[in-house]
Amino acid sequence: MKSEYVDKFNHDEDAPGYDQDVLNEAHPIRAGYSELLNWVAAKVEMHKPGRVLELGSGTGNLTLRLPQVEALTCVDISTEMQRIAQEKSPASTHITYVKADILEVLDQLDKKFDAVISTYTIHHLTAAEKQLFFAKMESSLAPRGIAVFGDLMFENQENKTAYLEQCRRSGQEELAEDIEDEFFWDVELALDKLQVLGLQASAKQFSELSWGIVAHKHA
């Protein structure tokens, strides 16, 4: 099952300018970008996993921050994003690149991962798809595995509504439209869903719109 908006969020056209774009952390959507990627990489390094699955690996900005692991599987739907990522790390023989939808690929991989990670990607999934994704992700995690996410999120629906109202009052209609065009996480809801699946989960805020979530699987 592919995600509903996989074609819409295929960023082939944006790939050439993506790395330059994310440097503009003055923009609310990019604020906290580097710190959040570093945080995700640090969580992976602390866990010392052997097999890692990175979903929405894009141009490799998180990939290049990760510690050396036994095997890293990088999944992205964008051919151009993956081309740029491979150019950045041509000698990395432990990395396997897979062109696939992030929701569908979890049904296709026949192995368990010690860590499943993703940055700025899961907000392309609808609320219903996120719930399905969490279940598939949990099944893909090995015992004592870890899932780490960095993405665009609001603490809850009330905060999202208030932020959008503030944007419109201050003349930032384009920003409000960008937010409404995608599916930002609801942090409180996500933590609840992860905990229902038996994962121990917590969140950390990095900017008005960017949060990190880490979830640990027990036996």
- Average pLDDT of the segment spanning 15-26: 96
Q: Walk me through the domains of the chain, giving residue ranges and CATH numbers.
A: 15-216 (3.40.50.150)
Q: What angle do CA 51, 55, 61 make, to 5 degrees?
A: 95
pLDDT at 219 over 90: no
Place of tokens 């905990």: 195
pLDDT of residue 181: 96
| Portion of the chain with pLDDT greater than 90, in percent | 95
Dihedral sign from CA coordinates of 132, 135, 139, 143: positive
CA distance 154 to 159: 6
- Average pLDDT of the segment spanning 63-82: 97
pLDDT at 217 over 90: yes
Summarize pLDDT for 159-206 with one digit per residue, the tens. Answer: 999 999 999 999 999 999 999 999 999 999 999 999 999 999 999 999
Is the distance from CB of 36 to CB of 118 less than 8 angstroms?
no
Dihedral pair phi/psi, residue 6, rounded to 5°: -60, -40
Place of tokens 């960023």: 11
Summarize pLDDT for 77-106 with one digit per residue, the tens. Answer: 999 999 999 999 877 889 999 999 999 999
Q: Which SS3 state, helix, strand or coil, does residue 149 take?
A: strand
- Average pLDDT of the segment spanning 32-55: 97
Dihedral pair phi/psi, residue 100, rounded to 5°: -165, 165
CA distance 23 to 69: 27
Token pair for residue 30?
Answer: 């990019």
Please provide the distance, in angstroms rounded to a whole number, between the alpha carbons at the two ends of the chain: 28
Is the distance from CB of 50 to CB of 112 less than 8 angstroms?
no
pLDDT at 44 over 90: yes
Average pLDDT value over all residues in the chain: 96
Q: What is the DSSP letter of 218?
A: -
